[in-house]
Structure 1
Amino acid sequence: MPNTAFTVDAFLNDQLARWQRDLVAVRRLAPKTLEAYQRDLGQFLDFLSGHAGGEVTLTTLRELRAADIRAFMASRRGEEVSSRSLARALSAMKSFFAFLEREGVMATEAFNAIRTPKIGRSLPKALTVIEAKRTISTTAELEERPWIAARDMAVLSLCYGTGLRISEALALTPADLDSDTLRVTGKGGRTRMVPLIAPVRRAIDAYLEICPFGLDPGEPLFRGAKGGVLSPRLVQMRVAQLRGALGLPPSATPHALRHSFATHLLGKGGDLRAIQELLGHASLSTTQIYTAVDTDRLLESYHKAHPRA
């Protein structure tokens, strides 16, 4: 737990360690989410340490009031922390106190009076079909080394053609290509099956045919120039080059290809539940945001084209 070694007593330090194990084993949080939760709760405990004038103990937590939580949130807001980050911090705090209650350590009603900060809905920025295809096909024009051009085209094809996150695409191994369906492990350790359509398969085969490195079945499929595992940063830099070459907006990122995958499927009548499964979303509400994207695009086209709009 970052920043808490000198702010909590031994008993709470043990509870924190057990809470972290619970987040991994039971809630199966993604590593980055777990790190953020640890950091958020550490900041809250440091804040309480300042209030208490020393070590935070179980008594400190039992005496916690809603006013203390609001004071912490206000201090974070004063540091210009976003509403989204504040909401995540509150979620981390509630998670820890809920864990203490489940374990029979203590219970508090202090959080009942705290409202979650409102988060403005930001719609995913999808590319048009033409922009997405050009982003992939233009890759070869920016790279003199054919195998690296083929590699980058394969990675971007996976993002657009299967809806994979960069991390998921870069985690694939040659053994994963044994069938026409990819078995992908995404956020929270959730596994899903994704069809490997012909254009994506061809892009991967083109890369494998000229890749200069030997690839063992269980090792990462995509390699850097010196043979190491390909870094997501290199893919992001390639797409930044493509933005400049094609005049695309700043929102055109590798992840935007995943958004485009979902938006274009929905636009062609794809079932929302099926898209949820393909994307690996735990909740349908996460996928439903694409219905707003598609509606916004429809209205935009209407207003541009209709003579009475």
Structure 2
Amino acid sequence: MEYPPSPAGLRRRPGGEAVFQGRAAAVPRLRRRPGLTRGEVQAQGSPRRLPGRHSVQGHLRVGLRRTETSKLDVVDFGRNPQARQFGRYGTLNVRYGKAKKGQPPRRRNVLSVMDWAVEAVADYVENVRPRFGFPDHPALWITERGGRLQPGSINDRFEAYRDAPKLPKDLVPHSIRHSYVTHLTEDGVDRRFIQQQVGHECDSSLAIYTHVSDDFMNTSLHKALAPAFAGA
């Protein structure tokens, strides 16, 4: 059987098996923020991390923007009848999403999908936040002095947690959004669902956020080619 010419980024092993080698050959060169591996993400969310870690965990749990994270209130959580295992943390009402020029902030409901992240946030709300002594403050993330945690403070805390295990310096809070999109993509989650989760209008924006591994690319390639070569 004669095989068609390989597209850019594909190489054939002896015997005709197609493999993907390197994203740069198949994807336009775009300046992307780096992402975190699954292990690095869960290390940031570990209950044994440094004090003040919970604001970063909230940022991690659904790939929010810093301003979206800062402006969350305790009452923004809700139950999802389709995911009862998450209890009162099944949904999150993001009220201050990124706005278009001249328009008010865009709202969206974000669904919980990662159980370890829900556990981290529940630990903060139920065990850590009450210790600050401001039960009537509406903000979810509060400081030791009873103020709402600001985006700049999220930056500072993220950098402390990034530097403690000597992760790359070019990782920034927004890298967490990229990682969230990438990990859901590798888990086979529908792209439209991911797009709604992170508040993107265009799928092209979502593509820039995705940093899938070569192993994932190879698996996807084999699935795509299987029907064509089934009768070979």
TM-score range, shorter chain: 0.5 to 0.7
| Structure-2 residue corresponding to 1:64 | none
Give 3-state SS (helix, strand or coil) of 1:193's partner.
Answer: strand
Cα offset, 1:299, TM superposition: 6.7
Equivalent pair of 2:142/2:148 in contact (CA under 8 Å): yes
Structure whose residues are more often strand by fraction: 2
Alignment partners' CA distance in 2, 1:283 and 1:184: 19
Over aligned residue pairs, what C-alpha RMSD do you find?
Answer: 2.6
Alignment partners' CA distance in 2, 1:164 and 1:141: 20
The size of the alignment, in residue pairs, is 171
1:60-139 matches, within 5 Å, as: 121-137=30-46
Equivalent pair of 1:174/1:216 in contact (CA under 8 Å): no
TM-score by length of 2: 0.65
Q: Does 1:244 align with 2:163?
A: yes
Q: Mark the CA change 1:247 to 1:210 in structure 2 (over 3 Å): closer, same or farther.
A: closer
Amino acid at match of 2:135: L
| Structure-2 residue corresponding to 1:190 | 106
Equivalent pair of 2:61/2:118 in contact (CA under 8 Å): no
Q: Residue 65 of structure 2: which of 140, 165, 169 is its match?
A: 165
| Structure-2 residue corresponding to 1:202 | 119
| Structure-2 residue corresponding to 1:176 | 76
TM-score by length of 1: 0.50
Alignment partners' CA distance in 1, 2:216 and 2:166: 20
Equivalent pair of 2:62/2:180 in contact (CA under 8 Å): yes
Alignment partners' CA distance in 1, 2:176 and 2:98: 18
Amino acid at match of 1:137: S
Alignment partners' CA distance in 2, 1:201 and 1:142: 18
Q: Does 1:222 align with 2:132?
A: no
| Structure-2 residue corresponding to 1:13 | none
Q: Mark the CA change 1:279 to 1:285 in structure 2 (over 3 Å): closer, same or farther.
A: same
| Structure-1 residue corresponding to 2:5 | none
Equivalent pair of 1:125/1:256 in contact (CA under 8 Å): yes
| Structure-2 residue corresponding to 1:257 | 176
Alignment partners' CA distance in 1, 2:59 and 2:94: 13
Q: Report which of the two structures shows the higher radius of gyration computed on alpha carbons.
A: 1
Alignment partners' CA distance in 2, 1:191 and 1:231: 19
Alignment partners' CA distance in 2, 1:243 and 1:194: 26
Alignment partners' CA distance in 2, 1:255 and 1:287: 13
Q: Higher relative contact order by CA 8 Å / sep ≥ 6: 1 or 2?
A: 2
Q: Which stretches of structure 1, 4 residues or more, deviate above 4 A after TM superposition? A: 299-302
Equivalent pair of 1:272/1:288 in contact (CA under 8 Å): no
Alignment partners' CA distance in 1, 2:135 and 2:66: 19
Q: Mark the CA change 1:275 to 1:301 in structure 2 (over 3 Å): closer, same or farther.
A: closer
Alignment partners' CA distance in 2, 1:191 and 1:269: 26
Alignment partners' CA distance in 2, 1:210 and 1:157: 13
Equivalent pair of 2:72/2:139 in contact (CA under 8 Å): yes
Cα offset, 1:300, TM superposition: 10
| Structure-2 residue corresponding to 1:234 | 153
Alignment partners' CA distance in 2, 1:122 and 1:300: 21
Give 3-state SS (helix, strand or coil) of 1:288's partner.
Answer: helix
Cα offset, 1:176, TM superposition: 0.8
Q: Residue 50 of structure 2: which of 130, 133, 142 is its match?
A: 142
How many percent identity over aligned positions? 30
